[in-house]
Structure 1
Amino acid sequence: MENADGLAALEFALMAPMMLLILMGSIEFPRAYGTSQRLLRSGRAMADLIARGGMPNADDVFAAGSAVTFPTDLTGAGIVLTAVGVYPEGTGTVAKVCSSVARNAAPRAVGSLLGPPPDSEAVAGARYVMVETTYTYVPIFNLFPALKALTFTKQVTWPMRGTGPAAIETILPGGRACPAS
């Protein structure tokens, strides 16, 4: 009987670290995925808010985005809100920054090129908004090297959806309307 008890203890000693690693992984990886999805939903919520037009205070939008990511704290996340205009270029269209505001990141320069617009907005004169979020993930268990330096970067574009003048474009705080050409 002593040999059987010793063998069971040895088997447990060999398996316990593996079982703990699997347990930690089953907690950490879904948590990282959930954080990524909350960050995307936060970007969508902020984009929807600014696409309605009439945004006097960017702090309210940032606060709404943070509320969506609960329990993840977005205090240190980089967030850039951008109002975009679409202009003709050659045989296609190009997106340019009309106004931009940011928290914990640099706002985009007014007039800078963003490249081709999304297919849904690829019409000269179209306006849309873009939200970019960057968040460095902080793991609970510092055992997985892939999660130690994991940074989530999400970009959401959203069409204008306000009423009246707000349906045409939104002007972010400190910004101006998109130029006609």
Structure 2
Amino acid sequence: MIRALGHLTRRLRREEDGVSAVEFALIAPVMVLLYLGMMEISLALSVDRKVTNAASALADLVAQDDVITDDEMTDILNAGSAIIQPFDAEEFSVRITSVSMSLTGEVEVDWSDARGMTARAEGSEPALPGGILSPGRSVIWVEVAYAYEAPFEEITGNFDITEEFFLRPRQSLIVSRE
């Protein structure tokens, strides 16, 4: 009996018929997880690039004008939704704000418009990064957010992609709002 068991053990050690199947079964889940993770990261980076482009383009559209009307602002906000395509525009929100600094150094919001988030109160004092404003000047501040919903939530989970963009007006010291 012991001799037969020893013989069977030696024979099984020499047998190599199922090695590939076992190796595949061990490696396949890891490879599938890596593939899905890379796909998820690639998609999130594409959304991030679109969000950055939208913030830049919207700030540029506002900074090129000296007076923004209601119709122009509607078109600019709609442009943001168009830039983010082919991703879901319902998850895209934007706030465009004109902030100025008085000659005495007081910073305040001149006007603000938003879609998908709350506009800033006129006359409020926002906290801006240092060096953005100088006395007697203004800046167009665009804040963009995208609520990213991952196709495979288990890998990365859902998260917000945000971007801020600051641009000085080109035609005048302050972009007015009608």
Taking structure 1 as the reference length, the TM-score comes to: 0.80
**2:145 aligned with 1:134:** yes
Task: Pick from 39, 61, 76 the counterpart of residue 91 of structure 2.
Answer: 76
Q: 1:94 to 1:72 in 2, by over 3 A?
A: farther
Q: What is the root-mean-square deviation in Å for CA atoms of aligned residues?
A: 2.2
- Does structure 2 conserve the Cα–Cα contact (< 8 Å) formed by 1:86 and 1:123? yes
1:37 aligns with 2:49: yes
Aligned with residue 168 of structure 1, among 146, 149, 173: 173
> In structure 1, what is the Cα distance between the partners aligned to 2:107 and 2:162?
20
Q: CA deviation at 1:116?
A: 4.6
| Residues 125 and 35 (structure 1), Cα distance of their counterparts in 2 relative to 1, 3 Å cut | same
- Secondary structure at the aligned position of 1:71 is classed as coil
Distance 1:23 1:126, change over 3 A: same
2:68 match: 55
Query: Does the 8 Å CA contact 2:68/2:176 hold for their aligned counterparts?
Result: yes
CA distance in 2, matches of 1:51, 1:7: 66
Question: How far did residue 168 of structure 1 move?
Answer: 2.7
3-state secondary structure, aligned to 2:37: helix
Which structure has the larger Rg over C-alpha atoms? 2
The unaligned stretches of length 5 or more in structure 2 are 1-13
Return structure 1 stretches of 4+ with deviation > 4 angstroms.
Answer: none
Shift of 1:5: 3.2
* Aligned residue number for residue 4 of structure 2: none
Report how far residue 41 of structure 1 moved: 1.1
- Say which SS state the counterpart of residue 5 (structure 1) adopts: coil
Identity of aligned residues (%): 28
1:24 to 31, 36, 42: 36
Give secondary structure in 2 for the equivalent of 1:115. Answer: coil
In structure 2, what is the Cα distance between the partners aligned to 1:94 and 1:43?
Answer: 26
Q: Comparing 41-50 with 79-88, which one deviates more in the overlay?
A: 79-88
Contact kept, 8 Å, 1:94 with 1:117, in 2: the verdict is: no
- 1:92-107 equivalences under 5 Å are 93-107=105-119
Contact 1:95–1:117 at 8 Å: present in 2 too? Answer: no
How far has the Cα of 1:156 moved from its partner?
0.8
Instruction: Note the 1:6-25 alignment, pairs <5 A.
Output: 6-25=18-37
Runs of 5+ consecutive residues of structure 1 not aligned to the other structure: 174-181
Query: Is residue 95–residue 115 contact of structure 2 (8 Å, CA) maintained in 1?
Result: yes
Contact 1:94–1:115, Cα closer than 8 Å, also in 2: no
More helix by share: 2
Partners of 2:143 and 2:164 in 1: how far apart?
A: 4
Contact 1:132 1:156 in 2 (8 A): yes
